[in-house]
Amino acid sequence: LFANRHAFGFARRMLVLVPNVVNLATWEIECAKHAPHLRVRAVDVSGTAARLDIFADTELDVVVSTYQGITQLCCEKEAVPDKKRNRWVPSPRMLKKLGRAFDTLVLDESTALKNAEGLPFRIVRQLRKHTTFLYALTGTPFNKSPIDLWSQFFLIDGGHTLGETIGLFQHAFFRKKQAVAQGQITMRQDGLLGSVGAHPAPAEDEHVVDAGERRSTVSNDNDDAAPRPHRGHGLGQHGL
Q: For 217-220, which contacts have Cβ atoms below 8 Å and span 24 or more sequence positions?
A: 217/161, 217/162, 217/163, 217/172, 218/159, 218/162, 218/163, 218/164, 218/168, 218/169, 218/172, 220/164
Share of the chain above pLDDT 90, in %: 48
Q: What is the pLDDT of residues 171-214, one digit of tens each?
A: 888 877 655 455 555 555 555 555 555 555 444 443 443 434 33
pLDDT surpassing 70 at residue 146: yes
Average pLDDT over residues 111-137: 93
Q: What is the pLDDT of residues 13-34, one digit of tens each?
A: 999 999 999 999 999 999 999 9
| CA–CA distance, 39 with 153 (Å, rounded to integer) | 30
Per-residue pLDDT, 81: 80
Per-residue pLDDT, 65: 94
Q: What is the pTM of this model?
A: 0.73
